[in-house]
């Protein structure tokens, strides 16, 4: 018994040291993780869907009568995004220290865009923060809804084209060389389609990695060019005038312009500040140029419709409706109606493109894959003539 008690006495300090060491390691790991999350929070770009949900929940809590700090504390506890939780915490602490909500969210420009901060400023100035946040949430939700529809429509053709490209490469690099070795024993000239595929297969086998490197270099160069002001202008002009998707891109840009403008004006944001936010939120150089012209014209006492009427980017229907809104003092209402109209047009265009793209892709796959198969089996169909050296 004495030996057992002495043994346990000698192992207990070691066990305690082991537990302390494990605890200190866990604490150090937790601290390192927390520091990493806090570092990411400064430059964290919050997805628009999560921002829409956060804004709607915050507006609902404010309507229920809860203080702003308590609302943020509740949202901080329930959010699953650990980085955004730190963002909400820092905003809440900033407000608790006596700063305004708008100044607190301005410290996180990646998480809260200019539209959100400007609307918050307007809500604080008018005393209707909850109502304005509800409008912002509605704007974000409509934007997310339209974006999801466009992405879902584009997913199918992109997936099919990617699969077709991979399949063709596999056929050219791995399957066709087997046929080429078999055709060498024929001792006769192969049909032109078959010979072309064999030559293309040999080229890809020899220069595949160079082609991949060249494609990546082109992709990198185009990305760098688009990042420049001139490249961005070329990209936006090309997207709007693209043969199939240009009309859709144009309508989405017009809808976003009208919806953002109407939401800001209705919330009491000054028109010059509204035009500045609309320009930055549009992500289109055409709208940025138009907003700069409108701001200059309005500051001199002119009307918005006068600039829209002289700009080819905006269709005649939109110009007439904005002019009617100015005559009746209901520009924001007209802008909302225009945005609703273009949202419906975008949905119809997406549905039409989806219906059109599906048969086009089927025909494309049939022609490409079927053409490859036919070209490779053509010598077999003509086996007697080829083997005998006949024409």
User: Strand, coil or helix: what is 219?
Assistant: helix
pLDDT digits (tens, 9 = 90+) for 172-195: 888 888 877 777 766 667 778 888
In a domain, 188, yes or no: yes
Q: Please indicate, yes or no, whether residues 194 and 343 belong to a single structural domain of this protein.
A: yes
CB 146 within 8 A of CB 343: yes
In a domain, 39, yes or no: no
Q: What is the CATH number of the domain that holds 75?
A: 1.20.81.30
Take residue 43 and report the two structure tokens written for it.
Answer: 């430059």
Cα 274 to Cα 121, 147, 161, 325, distances in angstroms:
12, 23, 41, 17
Would you call 193 exposed, middle or buried from its count of C-beta atoms within 10 A (0-12, 13-18, 19+)?
middle
pLDDT at 181 (0 to 100): 78
CA separation for the pair 262, 276 (Å, rounded): 14
pLDDT band, very low/low/confident/very high, at 346 (cuts 50, 70, 90): confident
pLDDT higher than threshold 70 for residue 14: no
pLDDT at 217 (0 to 100): 93
Take residue 342 and report the two structure tokens written for it.
Answer: 């273009």
Q: Say what percent of the chain tops pLDDT 70.
A: 88
pLDDT higher than threshold 60 for residue 384: no
pLDDT higher than threshold 80 for residue 70: yes
CB-CB neighbours of 168 under 10 Å: 15
In a domain, 331, yes or no: yes
- CB under 8 Å, gap of 24 or more: what pairs does 344-347 form? 345/251, 346/146, 346/149, 346/150, 346/248, 346/251, 346/252, 346/255, 347/146, 347/149
- Tokens 């060249």 identify what position? 214
Q: Which of 112, 132, 154 is the last residue of a domain?
A: 112
- Tokens 């055709």 identify what position? 183
Would you call 202 exposed, middle or buried from its count of C-beta atoms within 10 A (0-12, 13-18, 19+)?
middle
pLDDT at 19 (0 to 100): 65
In a domain, 26, yes or no: no
pLDDT band, very low/low/confident/very high, at 220 (cuts 50, 70, 90): very high
Q: Please indicate, yes or no, whether residues 295 and 247 belong to a single structural domain of this protein.
A: yes
Would you call 124 exposed, middle or buried from its count of C-beta atoms within 10 A (0-12, 13-18, 19+)?
middle
Q: Which of 74, 90, 112 is the last residue of a domain?
A: 112
In a domain, 21, yes or no: no
Q: Please indicate, yes or no, whether residues 73 and 162 belong to a single structural domain of this protein.
A: no
Q: How many domains does the chain have?
A: 2
pLDDT band, very low/low/confident/very high, at 2 (cuts 50, 70, 90): very low
Q: Please indicate, yes or no, whether residues 242 and 364 belong to a single structural domain of this protein.
A: yes
The mean pLDDT of the chain is 82
Cα 138 to Cα 56, 133, 141, 226, distances in angstroms:
8, 9, 5, 32
Largest alpha-carbon pair distance within the chain? 106
pLDDT digits (tens, 9 = 90+) for 98-137: 888 888 988 888 888 888 888 888 888 777 888 888 888 8
Q: Which of 112, 130, 158 is the last residue of a domain?
A: 112
Take residue 249 and report the two structure tokens written for it.
Answer: 């891109």
pLDDT digits (tens, 9 = 90+) for 139-175: 888 888 888 887 877 787 888 888 888 888 888 888 8
Range of 205's domain? 142-391
pLDDT higher than threshold 80 for residue 22: no
Q: Please indicate, yes or no, whether residues 343 and 212 belong to a single structural domain of this protein.
A: yes
pLDDT band, very low/low/confident/very high, at 33 (cuts 50, 70, 90): low
Q: Please indicate, yes or no, whether residues 100 and 157 belong to a single structural domain of this protein.
A: no
Q: Please indicate, yes or no, whether residues 90 and 182 belong to a single structural domain of this protein.
A: no
Tell me the mean pLDDT in the region 12-17: 62
Select the more confidently predicted residue: 201 or 40: 201
Q: Please indicate, yes or no, whether residues 195 and 56 belong to a single structural domain of this protein.
A: no
Tell me the mean pLDDT in the region 17-32: 65
Q: Please indicate, yes or no, whether residues 91 and 204 belong to a single structural domain of this protein.
A: no
Min mean pLDDT across 21-30, 85-94, 144-153 is at 21-30
Give buried/exposed letters for 53-88 (b at 16+ CB in 10 A, else e).
bbbbbbbebbeeeeebeebbbebbeebeeebbbbbb
Cα 308 to Cα 236, 291, 298, 323, distances in angstroms:
19, 9, 12, 9
Q: Please indicate, yes or no, whether residues 276 and 343 belong to a single structural domain of this protein.
A: yes
């Amino acid at each position: 018994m004495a030996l057992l008690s002495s043994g346990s006495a000698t192992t207990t300090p070691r066990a305690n040291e082991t537990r302390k060491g494990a605890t200190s390691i866990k604490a150090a790991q937790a601290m390192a993780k927390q520091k990493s999350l806090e570092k990411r929070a400064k430059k964290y770009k919050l997805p628009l869907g999560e921002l829409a949900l956060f804004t709607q929940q915050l507006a609902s809590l404010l309507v229920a009568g809860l203080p702003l700090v308590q609302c943020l504390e509740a949202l901080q506890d329930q959010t699953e995004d650990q980085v955004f939780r730190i963002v909400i915490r820092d905003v809440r602490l900033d407000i608790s220290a006596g700063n305004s909500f708008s100044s607190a969210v301005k410290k996180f420009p990646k998480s809260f865009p200019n539209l959100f901060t400007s609307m918050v400023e307007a809500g604080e100035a008018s005393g209707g923060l909850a109502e304005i946040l509800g409008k912002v949430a509605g704007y974000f939700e409509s934007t997310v809804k339209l974006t999801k529809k466009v992405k879902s429509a584009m997913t199918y053709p992109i997936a099919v084209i990617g699969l077709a490209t991979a399949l063709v490469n596999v056929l050219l690099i791995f399957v066709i060389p087997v046929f080429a070795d078999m055709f060498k024993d024929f001792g006769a000239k192969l049909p032109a389609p078959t010979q072309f595929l064999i030559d293309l297969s040999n080229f890809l086998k020899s220069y595949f990695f160079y082609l991949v490197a060249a494609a990546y270099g082109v992709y990198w160069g185009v990305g760098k060019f688009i990042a420049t002001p001139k490249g961005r202008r070329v990209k936006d002009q090309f997207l709007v005038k693209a043969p199939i998707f240009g009309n859709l891109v144009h309508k989405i840009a017009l809808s976003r312009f009208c919806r953002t403008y109407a939401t800001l004006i209705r919330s009491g944001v000054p028109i010059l500040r509204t035009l500045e936010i609309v320009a930055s939120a549009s992500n289109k150089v055409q709208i940025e140029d138009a907003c700069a012209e409108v701001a200059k014209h309005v500051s001199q006492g002119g009307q918005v419709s006068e600039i829209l009427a002289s700009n080819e980017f905006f269709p005649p229907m939109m110009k007439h409706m904005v002019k009617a809104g100015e005559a009746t003092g209901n520009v924001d209402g007209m802008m909302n109606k225009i945005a609703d109209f273009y949202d419906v047009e975008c949905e119809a265009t997406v549905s039409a493109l989806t219906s059109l793209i599906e048969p086009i892709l089927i025909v494309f796959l049939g022609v490409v894959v079927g053409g490859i198969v036919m070209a490779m089996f053509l010598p077999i169909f003509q086996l007697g003539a080829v083997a005998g050296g006949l024409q």
